[in-house]
Structure 1
Amino acid sequence: MSSGAEGQFRGSAVGSITRAAVPGVRRATLLTEDRVPIETVYHPSEAGPAATVIVVAHGFTGSVDRPAVRRAARAFGRRAAVVTFSFRGHGGSGGRSTVGDREVLDLAAAVRWARAWGHSRVVTVGFSMGGSVVLRHAALYGEALVGRAEARTEARIDARTDAVAAVSAPARWYYRGTAPMRRLHWVVTRPVGRAVGRYGFRTRIHPREWDPVPLSPVEAVPLIAPTPLLVVHGDRDPYFPLDHPRMLAAAAAGTAELWLEPGMGHAENAADEALLARIADWLVPEQPAG
């Protein structure tokens, strides 16, 4: 796997748009900069026309049609429009998963498409692997880099996020300190593990190792400001212990908000309705009257 030269990502195109069974919902196939087709769904806000659209980045083995992703989309849809998508190698998208590396291109394509619907704000929320992706995306497409003359292109500006929330995200790569993460590394790195991923979890995984190793989440965080950042983590997360969110918050040097959730496990499957509503409220703050 290779991210190439970070900061050199370009644009994306919409392959096709179809009407879904639910009124107002649209499904599209987007093409990323590296020409991978990504299935994407636009959900209008239940409250009517919305200024904000929330782009949801799922965890490893997720997809637009997974129940937990659909539940999150419904919860966020009470406050804003929502775009969900399947990362490469997942669901109906093409390609193979690079477990957080090239996936930043998938998110950038989804953000551009979300912005094309005419909303004045586009914000991102990611879970687990998706959490690491939204952090890297916010850094690579944020003001710190896009503001530089050599990186200031229309495609990059359209891919920026106006706020970012990372839920159950790792702080560093190659973590094997818990049994679930040791099992995940077996799935990703062994041929028989990748077969299990393909046929057991419907996730197609790229066989090559990262080269070069992409910017880690904790390295990305200092590049995100002044974009608002929220870090959310459960104190019963079986994958990543609390040193991960604390490292991320510390790297933000006071510019991030940290929520440590009592009794919460891991990612979208563990995020209950109340937490999803609070995240939506944070991403879509009330506008002052008048």
Structure 2
Amino acid sequence: MRDDTLRLGVAPDPSHADWTQQRIRTPDGVWLDGALLAGPAGTRSAIVLANGFTRSWRHEPTQRIARRLCVHGSVQMFDFRGHHRSGGVSTVGKAEVTDLQSVVTHLRAHGYRTITTVGFSMGASVVLRHAAEHGGVTAVVAVSGPGQWYYRGTRPMRLLHRGVEHPLGRLALRTAYGVRVTNRRWDPAPADPTQAAARLSSTPLLVVHGDSDDFFPVDHAERIHTAAGAHSELWIEPGFGHAERAISTELVERIGTWVAGVTSPASAPPS
């Protein structure tokens, strides 16, 4: 497989002692490229970062987010199938739920008891569906996520659909971004993110969206929040654009504080 990471401006392999690079295998045989950033000594809490389409844990924005969140627990990063050094082909949000479940299972096997999933853009749709279909996570954060499938109401989303639906577009994604996309259409389509949010039951959900997002208008976030009900919190952030590349350090730190608040023993309901 061709390696475009350096040409694409991806951060070099971490050499810090607190990074542990990993390969995690999914039940359908796909190897995922990932890394764990160690949190406080003895922690049994983990935060999983689920990137947006074309993004990688090796990109500087994701590593910056991880370093800000690791004061609250170990941070698990990984690349979805079809992305960069991970195997397989991207299904743009459908089979990626299997990837996330494999990562959560991996963390459970290594002794982590409290696991929060934090997804960006496509990753936001994946963390919602994962929590609805598999459960087993303590809390969910959906940042800059779509509220519905097949949305084409903005220019970036029209371009994205052209990229994934046409052979030349898929070639461009593979050549320019190192992302290999399946040529198969969804059949059937999975539950959309709003439907998934309605099935979260009592799992705490934080929905974060910018009023300057050029991919999805704020009504996508509002629908997800409304569907999730009383256990959901909605932050509409002034001036925030889209996902990992636009998120500020201050907003990452506020998300970390929210995660710590809902996952601490003191926040758990009495048994």
TM over 0.5: yes
Q: Which residue of 1 aligns with 2:112?
A: 119
Which contiguous aligned blocks of 4+ residues in structure 1 show a shift greater than 3 angstroms? Answer: none
> Please, which of 121, 124, 129 is the counterpart of residue 128 of structure 1?
121
What is the deviation of 1:20?
Answer: 6.4
The aligned runs of 1:244-255 (5 Å cut-off) are: 244-255=220-231
Is 2:25 the partner of 1:31? yes
- Indicate if the aligned counterparts of 1:65 and 1:91 stay in contact, CA closer than 8 A: no
Q: Which residue of 2 aligns with 1:107?
A: 100
Cα distance in 1 for residues equivalent to 2:120 and 2:107: 19
Structure 1 residue matching 2:146: 3-state secondary structure: coil
2:229 corresponds to which letter in structure 1? Answer: A
What is the deviation of 1:48?
Answer: 2.7
Q: CA-atom RMSD, angstroms?
A: 1.4
> Please, which of 258, 261, 264 is the counterpart of residue 237 of structure 2?
261
Q: Which residue of 2 aligns with 1:51?
A: 44
Cα distance in 2 for residues equivalent to 1:97 and 1:210: 12
The aligned runs of 1:186-197 (5 Å cut-off) are: 186-197=162-173
Is 2:222 the partner of 1:282? no
Structure 2 unmatched runs, 5+: 1-12, 267-271
Cα distance in 2 for residues equivalent to 1:200 and 1:184: 13
The aligned runs of 1:72-87 (5 Å cut-off) are: 72-87=65-80
> Please, which of 215, 220, 233 is the counterpart of residue 191 of structure 2?
215
- Indicate if the aligned counterparts of 1:217 and 1:248 stay in contact, CA closer than 8 A: yes
Identity %: 44
- Indicate if the aligned counterparts of 1:40 and 1:110 stay in contact, CA closer than 8 A: no
Q: Which residue of 1 aligns with 2:90?
A: 97
Q: Which residue of 2 aligns with 1:225?
A: 201
CA shift digits 1:35-94 (9 cap, x unpaired): 11111211101x433231100000000111011111111111122110000000112100
Cα distance in 1 for residues equivalent to 2:43 and 2:170: 41
What is the deviation of 1:120?
Answer: 2.3
CA shift digits 1:137-168 (9 cap, x unpaired): 000012xxxxxxxxxxxxxxxxx211000000
Cα distance in 1 for residues equivalent to 2:248 and 2:265: 25
Structure 1 residue matching 2:236: 3-state secondary structure: strand
> Please, which of 216, 227, 234 is the counterpart of residue 240 of structure 1?
216
CA shift digits 1:90-135 (9 cap, x unpaired): 1210001000000001111111112222122011000000000000
Is 2:63 the partner of 1:63? no
Cα distance in 2 for residues equivalent to 1:49 and 1:275: 26
Please give the TM-score of this superposition, normalised by the length of structure 1: 0.84
Structure 1 residue matching 2:244: 3-state secondary structure: helix
Cα distance in 2 for residues equivalent to 1:252 and 1:233: 15
Q: Which residue of 2 aligns with 1:166?
A: 142
Cα distance in 2 for residues equivalent to 1:139 and 1:63: 24
Cα distance in 2 for residues equivalent to 1:283 and 1:117: 21
- Indicate if the aligned counterparts of 1:55 and 1:114 stay in contact, CA closer than 8 A: no
Cα distance in 1 for residues equivalent to 2:42 and 2:84: 29
Cα distance in 1 for residues equivalent to 2:56 and 2:161: 20
For this pair of structures, how many residues does the alignment match?
Answer: 252
2:231 corresponds to which letter in structure 1? Answer: T
Please give the TM-score of this superposition, normalised by the length of structure 2: 0.90
Cα distance in 1 for residues equivalent to 2:131 and 2:139: 8
What is the deviation of 1:27?
Answer: 1.7
CA shift digits 1:156-195 (9 cap, x unpaired): xxxx211000000001000000000000001110111101
What is the deviation of 1:287?
Answer: 5.7
CA shift digits 1:191-234 (9 cap, x unpaired): 11101100111111111100110111011011112111110000
